[in-house]
Structure 1
């Protein structure tokens, strides 16, 4: 199948040829005709399989063919995403697809000054990519109007709920025109997302280009058990022993990111980190340098679990397992993209066994465990089964110590020397055997 056979117009086909796109992916084959037909859509596909093109290409075609000129402070198509990094990634893709079209695109998100965004929106935008919080800030200041929105796209909506954007999504939904096309694309669909879709979508077509909540088969996954306090030591050991060249590392906390980056830099590695406390300009610079190969090791919290698209990233390491098991799929989905192979290794301590079980239950696979010599943990990670259940071993009965038993005098004696127990004798009051005295 070709992109031309899907009904895409020539300017889009020329842009795709320039980008090296040859054949549509499974999700694109199913989604593009449905979006061109004006259907509401729920599409599930593994990360890295072309979801952005699946909604952006037909969306751009519809806006072009309708030919309407966007009004001041208005938007014709709105794409909501959970993070700043994903906003930049999606916007860059949309801009590349639209290079031969008379359409304007823009991205707005927090962490940067709002004034330049307000100035740009005065001219109107055909396709706006936005995070929910900044979008509502601009709407409340009358910098953007929703009355002209024809298409709403919810990209990675499950992550938006995880980050606490439920109220913002409801506020945007209430302000949008009732007649519009709504598209929901995600690598995973939680029950809450399906409930949201039931409220926001009108008789949607459901498309699943891959099994729900399954990691890409191109990613080799395994687990290395380790004591919690030795995780950073183990990572540095593996980095050197396996000669990893480019690695994306996920840590649970911002302090964990900073500490590992500082340690790696002290050892002479080109390392940097990104997390929510760092300014957006600093985060974007670190991402750009990592993509360009100027930074070999990027340590991040889950802000990079979605929105980081590197064509051939070979290695992802989970220094800490995520709290939400679905984030594991997105983390390791940074490697093994676009048909390439990749590796994902998780350093797991005993405290994380419940998170490990949840990941295995979600992905329906039992992750292979590989002990690293010199780092075998004192606190063993409990075993899990194919259903993602923790196998709790029964407690063994206490055995008497081999040295014998403790004697009555508090010293250790051989069992043959233990005296027979002495039966307690009840004291009987003495009888008066003399002559009985008669009462007067």
Structure 2
């Protein structure tokens, strides 16, 4: 589609139902994003569409709003209740996110439009009652949808009008190729779907897998590909790199977090599950609470962790961005070769709507360009500002240069971007200035042995499985406050804790940082007392108000004057 074919319009100019407009207003969506502005009118016309937009561009709203509008329109003439829309997504977390988004958009028409999420990993028979009344919208992973189609719990042959596949570039890499091919057989061979329906593919990239799905699912589609980089512009998202070898990463992270040089909600990415727990146990010794997110945890717990993070229950998540999320078809071998059981329907780096994330910290540098883009895409969503800080060792330097070249090529399409903003700026950090932190960090890092990590993994999984069982019999809607008791940032206590490590004595803080971190002689005692629970302290609220810009104080070296 050419740019001149579109005329700018607002939500109220798209001929949407008043009930949808009220829900949009309640969500605080002042105006549609670029992809929503272009996709919604085309989808309302009934055309097949391939939506390509960077993460955080509003693709979920772009296909959800037309789905709801089409269902409300069909309600006026249809005589029988039936499932009109099927939305497929590669992970349980993304399914629940789409489901929640639809619930928010149908809050004013919940009686007319019913939606169910089939992604939770429970018995197929237990979900059968959800489908008896033929809900208007069904959200599921391809595996769960096919299981219900085979069991004849879900009947789409005579009722389906709209089909959506979100994060289409991940569907095959998550191991759903066989399921997709069985569901989407040629028109004359179809068992589960009608011959004619409207289809939509939404994706952050136009990979070979997406093009294969396009041939399989879409018919004469409109391709919407915005002329924009894969990440937010440089004026909105700042990229930094910090030279750090393996022995220095833990020291630097400890100093950044304990001195509050990193402000706001943060996601720390590592490459393996073991690294998740090693880093959690390390920070636990300094009374820095963190939540772990990986594919070994039950889906209900992962979704609850994301929701509580979005609600501000805790500020730091340590997420493992495993090979299953980056290497095509890598998930298929996990069940055969992997020693530990992982959930192939899990995904942290892609699609999940982490809200108001200020910082992404790559403790382990991503293995490739796509992984970097998807990690960093968790911040600077919508119109929010964000910062990405990557620890880079000498061995990882070529990977960083590859990412930097890719970002430069993407941003070069924007004439307004200044050339100097395109590069990943160096984070000015003199390690010798925090030498006092090194001794503490070195001992704490060594204390986290392989045995401690293994015990922490087992303890965490057992505890979360117990919590998951509680959630099955718990009414979350009527008791939202009680869910806070199921916090996921509690200490695991597989490493001996020393109480004095929770405090930061004044003598180990470099003089150039005392004013930045808000430490003075009169405030020393109060800072030590509040540093372990800074997320809820008045002191941290004061510091955040004083330095609200995420990572604003990163270039602290050489400061001569106190900030006013």
Shorter chain as denominator, the TM-score bin is 0.7 to 0.9
Structure-to-structure mapping, 1:327-406, within 5 angstroms: 327-363=371-407, 364=409, 366-370=423-427, 372-374=429-431
Q: What is aligned with 1:224?
A: 242
Q: What is aligned with 2:441?
A: none
Structure-to-structure mapping, 1:267-282, within 5 angstroms: 267-282=286-301
Count of residue pairs brought into register by the alignment = 374
TM-score w.r.t. the length of structure 2 is: 0.62
Equivalent of residue 317 in structure 2, options 295, 298, 306 = 298
For residues 6 and 203 of structure 1, do their structure 2 counterparts lie closer, same or farther at Cα, with a shift above 3 Å needed?
same
For residues 358 and 169 of structure 1, do their structure 2 counterparts lie closer, same or farther at Cα, with a shift above 3 Å needed?
farther
Distance 2:245 2:121 in 1: 36
Q: Does the aligned pair in 1 maintain the 2:240–2:388 contact within 8 Å?
A: yes
Q: Which has the higher strand share?
A: 1
Equivalent of residue 76 in structure 1, options 84, 95, 103 = 84
Q: What is aligned with 1:383?
A: none
Cα shift at 1:167:
2.2
Which whole-Å deviations, capped at 9, do the CAs of 1:283-330 have from their partners, x for residues lacking one?
A: 233222212222221111242223432442211112223345223222
Q: Does the aligned pair in 2 maintain the 1:253–1:301 contact within 8 Å?
A: yes
5+ long unaligned stretches in structure 1: 377-440
Q: What is aligned with 2:205?
A: 188
Corresponding position: 1:152 with 2:163: yes
- Equivalent position SS for 1:75: coil
Q: Does the aligned pair in 1 maintain the 2:265–2:315 contact within 8 Å?
A: yes
Q: What is aligned with 2:59?
A: 51
Which whole-Å deviations, capped at 9, do the CAs of 1:119-173 have from their partners, x for residues lacking one?
A: 2122212111111222222222222223122111111111222322222222222
Which whole-Å deviations, capped at 9, do the CAs of 1:162-202 have from their partners, x for residues lacking one?
A: 32222222222224323111111122222331232133211
Distance 2:124 2:211 in 1: 33
Structure-to-structure mapping, 1:35-114, within 5 angstroms: 35-67=43-75, 68=78, 71=81, 75-101=83-109, 102-114=112-124
Q: What is aligned with 2:366?
A: 322
Distance 1:116 1:215 in 2: 42
Q: Does the aligned pair in 2 maintain the 1:76–1:149 contact within 8 Å?
A: yes
Cα shift at 1:29:
0.9
Equivalent of residue 214 in structure 2, options 176, 194, 197 = 197
For residues 6 and 249 of structure 1, do their structure 2 counterparts lie closer, same or farther at Cα, with a shift above 3 Å needed?
same
TM-score w.r.t. the length of structure 1 is: 0.79
Q: What is aligned with 1:133?
A: 143
- Equivalent position SS for 2:184: helix
For residues 248 and 62 of structure 1, do their structure 2 counterparts lie closer, same or farther at Cα, with a shift above 3 Å needed?
same
Which whole-Å deviations, capped at 9, do the CAs of 1:201-242 have from their partners, x for residues lacking one?
A: 111111123425344442111111221344333322222341
Distance 2:364 2:44 in 1: 42
Distance 1:354 1:125 in 2: 51
Distance 2:366 2:155 in 1: 37
Distance 2:402 2:165 in 1: 26
Q: Does the aligned pair in 2 maintain the 1:157–1:186 contact within 8 Å?
A: yes
For residues 279 and 329 of structure 1, do their structure 2 counterparts lie closer, same or farther at Cα, with a shift above 3 Å needed?
same
Q: Does the aligned pair in 2 maintain the 1:215–1:329 contact within 8 Å?
A: no
Equivalent of residue 29 in structure 1, options 37, 60, 63 = 37
Distance 2:44 2:224 in 1: 15
Which whole-Å deviations, capped at 9, do the CAs of 1:246-282 have from their partners, x for residues lacking one?
A: 2111111111112212222232122111111111232
Q: Does the aligned pair in 2 maintain the 1:157–1:193 contact within 8 Å?
A: yes
Cα shift at 1:347:
1.5
Which whole-Å deviations, capped at 9, do the CAs of 1:328-377 have from their partners, x for residues lacking one?
A: 2222122112201011111122333454344334432543333532289x
Q: Which has the higher helix share?
A: 2
5+ long unaligned stretches in structure 2: 1-8, 186-191, 322-346, 410-421, 434-564
Q: Does the aligned pair in 2 maintain the 1:70–1:76 contact within 8 Å?
A: no
Q: Does the aligned pair in 1 maintain the 2:252–2:431 contact within 8 Å?
A: no
Higher gyration radius (CA): 1
- Equivalent position SS for 1:91: helix
